[in-house]
Amino acid sequence: MGNNEDGTRHVVGGVDTHKDLHVAAVVDGQDRVLGTASFATTRHGYRQMLVWMRSFGDLRRIGIESTGSYGAGLLRFMQQAGIDVLEVTAPDKHDRRRRGKNDDLDAQNAAHAALAGRRTVTPRSRDGMVESLRVLMVCRKTAVAARRVAIQIIQTTIVSAPDGLRDTLRSMTRMQLVRTLAAWRPDLTAYREVEAAYRISLKSLARRYLELHDEIADLDAMISAIVDDLAPELIARNSIGYTGAAQLLLTAGDNPERLRSEASFAALCGVSPVPASSGKTIRHRLNRGGDRAANSALHIIAIGRIRTDSATKAYVVRRTSGGHSKLDAIRALKRYIAREVFHIITRRYKEINQTRIAA
């Protein structure tokens, strides 16, 4: 990377992101640091950073850390400004041991990585429906966890409740129990008495459970609508539900073209085969890397197909009868499902983009 024909030099930026302040650095084509500065995490601060970087020359690209959290706003701003952005995925551990660590060095390392194309990936775009889906899925996940805690506390509270209360509640199903407790009308002035305190607590927990239950149902309706808009063909496939489809769409991102092939998507989902051969034994093992949530979604789909699809059952029988373990068969099946999902998602996004262009 040298200079333009008019003599303007090419430069590359790097940013170490934080909650309130981003630290930026600029290097030239020979990887020499030209400057380091700090900017506020506001649109005005982003604009100042871009002007500052461009003051050194022709800005070719920027390497940004943590584009999914502290760097999300900066990523959107730079993409809207037409700047090529790379996500710097991990710090250079060798350089950190040699030079130490501070924000200026981290920003410079991000710029060095962006210039060399090391430790960088194309970041997910965060300005489309998939970003909306991500926010709703995060909210749903926390609501499900809180609902699980509420029912666990209800059950443990009943175990230690006075005999009169425990005997009337122990034979009920979960929803019968929750609705019964929520309908109680305990004497709120008698909270100093043990039985009244139990009744007040159980009613409060049951109402919390029902409120979370309704909140999850509302979120599920919104998530399902987005998935139907983005990839209806995904839902039409055997054993792919809305939650699994939503997770796979999140893993692909708003811009799945950043994934070079279906093999890269499989690696991202942690279902690409990993060689584990030794001597005369030739085998592959399960991949422990990648997006574990996407891996889990593919595993649930695979188990569902083993139970409901005759062709999948026959495939697993062939693999196991050939000397492979059932885990090996499931790993291979997840790899096939990842290929299927990738082609559905990329085909659908091409249709969406063509519709936008035509409009």
Residue 222 sits in the same domain as residue 335: no
CATH code, domain carrying 111: 3.30.420.40
Work out the average pLDDT over 144-158: 96
Q: Which comes out higher in pLDDT, residue 322 or 39? A: 39
> Which pLDDT value is given to residue 290?
78
Please count the structural domains in the chain: 3
Same domain, 240 and 176: no
Tell me the backbone φ, ψ of residue 91, rounded to 5 degrees: -70, 155
**Has residue 1 got a pLDDT over 60?**
no
- Residue 287 pLDDT greater than 70, yes or no: no
Same domain for 135 and 223: yes
Cα distance between residue 73 and residue 237, in whole Å: 35
Do 262 and 223 belong to one domain? no
On whether both 191 and 170 belong to a single domain, the answer is yes
Strand pairing partners for 33?
A: 27
pLDDT in tens, 324-348: 888 889 988 999 999 999 999 988 8
A 10 A CB-CB count for 305 gives 22
DSSP 248-278: HHHHH-S-GGGS-SHHHHHHHTT-S-EE--B
pLDDT beyond 90 at 203: yes
Same-domain status, 31 and 148: no
Query: Can you tell me the distance from the alpha carbon of 156 to that of 162, in angstroms, rounded to the nearest whole number?
Result: 12
Two tokens at 249?
């769409």
Digit-coded pLDDT (tens) for 102-125: 888 889 989 999 998 877 777 777
pLDDT digits 0-9 by tens, 217-244: 999 999 999 999 999 999 999 999 999 9
Q: Are residues 244 and 354 in the same domain?
A: yes
pLDDT attached to residue 197: 96
Q: Within 10 Å of residue 174's Cβ, how many Cβ atoms?
A: 11
Left (φ > 0), alpha (ψ -120 to 50) or beta: where does 323 sit?
left
Residue-range definition of the domain harbouring residue 276: 233-358
| Per-residue DSSP letter, 58 | E
pLDDT of residue 6: 56
Same domain, 308 and 336: yes
How high is the pLDDT of residue 359?
Answer: 56
Residue 4 lies inside a defined structural domain of this protein: no
pTM flag (> 0.85): no
Mean per-residue pLDDT, 81-104: 75
Domain end, chosen from 121, 137, 153, is at 121
> What would the pLDDT profile of 257-280 be if each residue is shown by its tens digit?
777 788 888 888 888 876 666 665
162 domain-assigned: yes
Domain-terminating residue out of 75, 92, 121: 121
5 lies in some domain: no
With respect to residue 111, please indicate whether it lies within any of the assigned structural domains.
Answer: yes
Which residues have a Cβ under 8 Å from the Cβ of 241 and sit 6 or more positions away? Answer: 235, 300
3: DSSP letter: B
Rounded to 5 degrees, φ, ψ at 185 are -125, 70
Question: In the beta sheet, which residues pair with residue 10?
Answer: 58
- In a domain? residue 2: no
Same domain flag for 58 and 166: no
Do both 244 and 353 map to the same domain? yes
Residues 158, 161, 163, CA angle at the centre, nearest 5°?
Answer: 110
> What integer pLDDT is reported at residue 279 of this predicted model?
62
- Say yes or no: 39 and 23 in one domain: yes
Instruction: Tell me the torsion sign for CA atoms 330, 333, 337, 339.
Output: positive
Last residue within a domain, chosen from 62, 88, 121: 121
Class of residue 139 by CB neighbours under 10 A (exposed 0-12, middle 13-18, buried 19+): middle
Q: Is the pLDDT of residue 357 over 80?
A: no
- Residue 275 within any structural domain of the chain: yes
**Residue 36 — pLDDT band, cuts 50, 70, 90?**
very high
Alpha-carbon distance of 295 to 301, in angstroms, equals 10
**Residue 1 counted as domain residue:** no
- The mean of the pLDDT values for the chain is 88
Q: Are residues 281 and 211 in the same domain?
A: no
In 10 A of CB 317, how many CB atoms? 11
Is 34 domain-assigned?
yes
- Sign for the CA dihedral angle at 115, 120, 124, 127 comes to negative
Question: Around Cβ 280, how many Cβ atoms within 10 Å?
Answer: 5
